[in-house]
Amino acid sequence: MANEFDGYSEYELEFFRAIDRNTMAEQAIHNALLDINDDQYYTLFEVEVEHTCGWARVQVFPERAGTLYRCLNCGMAGIIGG
């Protein structure tokens, strides 16, 4: 029985795994902020989530256009769409 990843090189598989890890980390950050209210937008928070580098504290700055984040462990930063 063939699996959906047959035919990919290890390099390509690691790329897809990294995308999955990043997506899960961004979802965890989003979930940690689900209960914020309007007064808390534009406020810097720190949350502890499983990031691509493992469990880490992540700074998050929610704004209307999206959420800016920066991992305090590995330094990776990004934006989670609005």
Residues sharing a CB contact under 8 Å with residue 55, sequence separation 6 or more, in sequence order: 48, 49
Say how far apart CA 51 and CA 10 lie, in whole Å: 22
pLDDT at 65 over 90: no
Which pLDDT does position 37 carry in this prediction?
85
Mean pLDDT of all residues in 28-52:
88
Domain coordinates of the chain in residue numbers? 10-81
pLDDT at 73 over 80: yes
Predicted confidence band at 35 (pLDDT cuts at 50, 70, 90)?
Answer: confident
Residue 67 one-letter amino acid: T
